[in-house]
A = this chain, B = another copy of it.
Amino acid sequence: MNDRTIIEVIPNPLVRSMPTWVPPSLFKKRFTATSHPKRMHLNESPYPPSPSVIDAMKKACEAVNRYPDAHWQALVTALAERTGIPAARIVLGNGSDELIASAGRIALMPGDTVIAPVPSFASFAKAALINGASLRAVKVRKDGACDVEAMLEAIDETTRLLFLATPNNPTGAMLTASEVRKVAMEVPETCLLVVDEAYHEFAMQAGGEDPLPVLNTRTGPWVVFRSFSKAYGLAGIRVGYGICGSEEVVGGFQLARNAFTVNAIAQAGALAALQDTEHMESIVAAMATERERVSAGLRGLGCETFPSVANFVTARTRLAAVDVMKALEARGILISRLSTKGFENHIRVTVGKSEETNALLSEMRKILEA
C-alpha cells in the first residue's frame, strides 16, 4: 500500500527505520475470482475441514453479536486433554503468527539478540526487527533442518529469544527428539526458547518424535507453537496455540495479548476439529502421498529437493526461482520462492490434490525444457 521505506510520520524511530512490509498477495492481479488458479503457494490444505467443523462454525455464526470467550475455556480444555499439558499452560492466538509476534514483544528490548534458522519463517526476523533486536540468522543444515550446534554456538549474553522450527518451513526437515533435548538443555534460562511446530501433525505422520516430552525437562522458559491452519485445513479462521513451559510464560503472553483475540466462530471450528482428528489424519496421509509424488517428479526433472515431511516441497532448479514462479503463474499455477540470499534458484511448492501435482509437473517440464 505504501512503497516508501521511511515512514516519516511515525513517531517511533525504530519502526520508522524498518523496511516497508507488504503481506502476501493471495490473488495476483491477473487472476479473477472466477479463473481459479491452482494455489500451491501458501501451504494451505487443498481440502476443507470435516463437515462437523463446518457445521459447528455455521452454528456459531448465529451468535456473533456476543464477544468470544476471552479465556478460550472449551478450546484450552480440549487441547489440554489432547496434549496432556495442563490447561493453565496453554495460550491461544489469532494464528500462531500472533504468538510469534508476542514472543518477540515479551522477550526483547532494543539491543538484544534473537537467533533463528535461515531460510525459515519470515515472522521470526520481523519479531526481532520491530523490537529493535538484532537477528543472528543461522543457516540450516544441508538436509534443511535447523543447525542445532551452530545455533547454540551463536548464543551470547545478549540472546533473549531463540526460534527453533521443526519441521522447518520452507525446507520441510525436522529434528530428532535428542536434537531438541540438546537445545532445551543448553539454551540459557535468560532466553525464551520458541519451538515452531506449525507442521507438527505432518511430522507425526512421517514418524517424527513429539518434542514436548524433552522440552518438559527444560528449566528455563519455553513455548511450542502449533496451528490449526495446516493439517486441520483451517487457515482462514486464524487459530494457533502455544504450549508453555510454565504458567509464568503463559502470564507473559497474557500481558502481550488483546482482550478478544480468537474470533468466536474460529473457537467453535477449532474445538470441533479436535473432535474429528480422523478426518485430519486422513488428509495428512493423502498429502504425504502427494508430497512424495511432487518430490520425485521434481527430482526427475533435474531439481534438487530438500527431504520434506510437511505439506510443501522446496527444490533447487536450474533457473532463477522468480522466473519459474512467473512462468507457472502465467500457466495458472501459483507457487512460492525463497527470498533468502544464496537460495535464488529455490522454489517452494505446496502439495495439493493429485491433479495439481500432475499440472505442476507437466508445466514444470515445459518450463525447464524451454
Contact = CB atoms under 8 A, between A and B. Distances in A.
Interface stretch (A175-183, A205-213, A229-237): A229-237
Interface in A57-89: 57-58, 60-71, 73, 88
A4 B250 CA distance: 11
A65 B265 contact: no
A61 B66 contact: no
A258 to B, nearest CB: 4
A305 B49 CA distance: 50
Contacts of A47: 65
B106 A10 contact: yes
Contacts of A24: 67, 70, 259
A70 B2 contact: no
Q: Which residue, of A4, A15, A105, A236, has the highest number of chain B Cβ atoms within 10 A? A: A236
Contacts of A63: 48, 236
Contact of A258 (B11, B20, B123): B123
Number of copies: 2
A13 interface: yes
Q: Is the interface of A mostly helix, strand, loop or mixed?
A: loop
Contacts of A27: 69, 73
Given A9-B220, A10-B252, A44-B66, A247 B23 contact: no
Contacts of A23: 70-71, 254, 257, 259-260
A8 B248 contact: yes
A140 interface: no
Interface in A250-269: 250-252, 254-261, 263-266, 269
A32 interface: no
Contacts of A1: 71, 88, 247, 250-251, 254
Contact of A12 (B25, B108, B229): B108
A97 interface: yes
Given A24-B259, A236-B65, A258-B97, A11 B161 contact: yes
A9 B249 contact: yes
Contacts of A13: 109
Contacts of A88: 1-2
Contacts of A245: 9
Contacts of A269: 61, 64
A189 B9 CA distance: 8
Contacts of A257: 23
18 contacts: A1-B88, A11-B106, A11-B108, A15-B252, A20-B254, A23-B260, A26-B67, A26-B71, A44-B66, A48-B63, A58-B58, A58-B61, A64-B234, A94-B94, A95-B258, A123-B259, A235-B260, A265-B265
